[in-house]
Amino acid sequence: MANVVVVGSQWGDEGKGKIVDWLSEQADIVVRFQGGHNAGHTLVIDGVTYKLSLLPSGVVRGGKLSVIGNGVVIDPQALLDEIATLRKQGVTVTPDNLRIAENAPLILPLHRELEAIREADDSATRLGTTKRGIGPAYEDKVGRRAIRFMDLADLPSLATKIDRLLAHHNALRRGHGLGEIDGKAVYDYLAGIAPQVLPFMDSVWSLLDAKRREGKRILFEGAQGSLLDIDHGTYPYVTSSNTVAAQAATGSGLGPNAIDYVLGICKAYTTRVGEGPFPTDQMDNAIGKTLGERGREFGTVTGRARRCGWFDAVLVRQTVRTSGIDGIALTKLDILDGFAEVKVCVGYRLDGREIDYLPAGELAQARAEPVYESIDGWQEPTARARSWAQLPAQAIKYVRRIEELIGCPVTLLSTSPEREDTILMKNPFET
């Protein structure tokens, strides 16, 4: 049985929720392998809307095992709140259908406070984050001072680990002119929440290895998008984890040979939330506003309006390569219905020369100007099309041109938020 990784191929918000839900119905296990509760998925199942931030999408489907891997940073209170919300909607969440890696780092209130302080600063520390403590938690992981999930099961040794953590954070707080954090308050918070979350703890790498050997289908669910990757994204305007497909192995404890197919998700245009370079940004004109209104471009987690622009084939071609994408799921094609002309970025002009890649440097990225190719639009609707025969000829031409430019086939086409409005060319699980 094939195991499939789903990753965003732009800056996130590509419509992964619908695609992951469609795939999770076929999977036995759904795994989150990076990020935290800063990434939102909206699922609509039988007319009921579920908004997930931390939990894998499979949790809303009966008979699926959901797993949060070691690559995820976990806010235990946010975890409990999300579980409580789902239970009110009639979704059962127990250790029978949710397991959490014992070595996953925790997000604490001090992490959220630190990130909020940085984002409120008018200096260069502002990056447009969700202020949920994701970045500071990953900093502590790399700094080898994080409190991890398993530490909640060993309360006698927790105080020493908290002291090690606060030696760093209290120095930071003094630098910001803030009072120091009392270690006992941190201990009491963790000791109080431990009994509620520890039943979900497991040795995830071992669990997944056993399930894989049993022939179970595993779906690895990425958060955010490849252009927010800490190494391969538009640094420093990125998230604090690796979002490319290779992280599915590292962030779950399975080897890379466990991955059989990588499906990249991207919109038929481009969006971005927050700060950072965006070569095809159209938010200052009618095109960007029209895309935003039609596409209802507001962040699931933050509610912030997304910046909107034309499809950037250069960027998606790069993510196809850095994530090893085998096929693309192209979403929101219907949002382009009615445009007299659509444009695609096919290259950049930088300092008087044309290049076919986005440079790694922050200042060079900001100077890169898009080189566009214009394609005639279509007036007939693509919305709710479920076969190629129902698509206008110009819409098909647009999709085929995208395939040529990014060097990857479009294997799935979404024409509305409804899961049935999907044109499937290849099922990733049947590789």
The b-or-e profile of 386-412 (16+ CB within 10 A means b, else e) is beeeebbebbeebbebbeebbebebbb
The distance of Cα 16 from the centroid of its chain, to the nearest Å, equals 8
Catalytic residue among 21, 28, 37, 41: 41
Q: pLDDT of 36-83, one tens digit each?
A: 998 777 877 777 888 899 999 889 988 999 999 999 999 999 999 999
pLDDT band at residue 418, thresholds of 50, 70 and 90? Answer: confident
Q: What pLDDT score does 45 carry?
A: 78
Question: Average pLDDT, whole number, for the chain?
Answer: 93
Query: Given this model, what pLDDT does residue 398 score?
Result: 98
Distance of CA 181 to the CA centre of its chain: 32
- Omega into 236 within 30° of 0, i.e. cis? yes
Q: Please tell me the predicted confidence (pLDDT) of residue 27.
A: 96
Per-residue confidence (pLDDT) for residue 21, from 0 to 100: 84
Respond yes or no: is residue 28 known to be catalytic: no
Residue 302 in this model has a pLDDT that exceeds 70: no
Q: For the chain, what percent of residues have pLDDT higher than 70?
A: 96
| Residue of 255, 207, 214 whose CA lies nearest to 1 | 214
Scan for tokens 């606060």, then name that residue: 166
Q: What is the dihedral of CA 115, 116, 120, 122, to 10 degrees?
A: 0
Average pLDDT over residues 277-305: 87
Task: State how far the alpha carbon of 225 is from the alpha carbons of 3, 219, 399, 420, in Å.
Answer: 20, 17, 21, 24
Instruction: Verify whether residue 41 is a known catalytic residue.
Output: yes
d(CA 301, CA 325): 26
> For 338-391, what is each residue's pLDDT tens digit?
999 999 999 999 999 999 999 999 999 999 999 999 999 999 999 999 999 999
Q: What is the pLDDT of residues 197-248, one digit of tens each?
A: 999 999 999 999 999 999 999 999 998 899 999 999 999 999 999 999 999 9
Tell me what the mean pLDDT of segment 3-12 comes to.
96
- Predicted local confidence at residue 275, as pLDDT: 86
Which alpha helices (DSSP H) does 93-237 contain, by range?
109-120, 134-142, 158-175, 183-197, 204-213
**Coil, helix or strand for 353?**
strand
Tokens of 138: 């990953």
| pLDDT at residue 67, as a whole number | 98
25 strand-pairing partners: none
* pTM for this prediction: 0.93
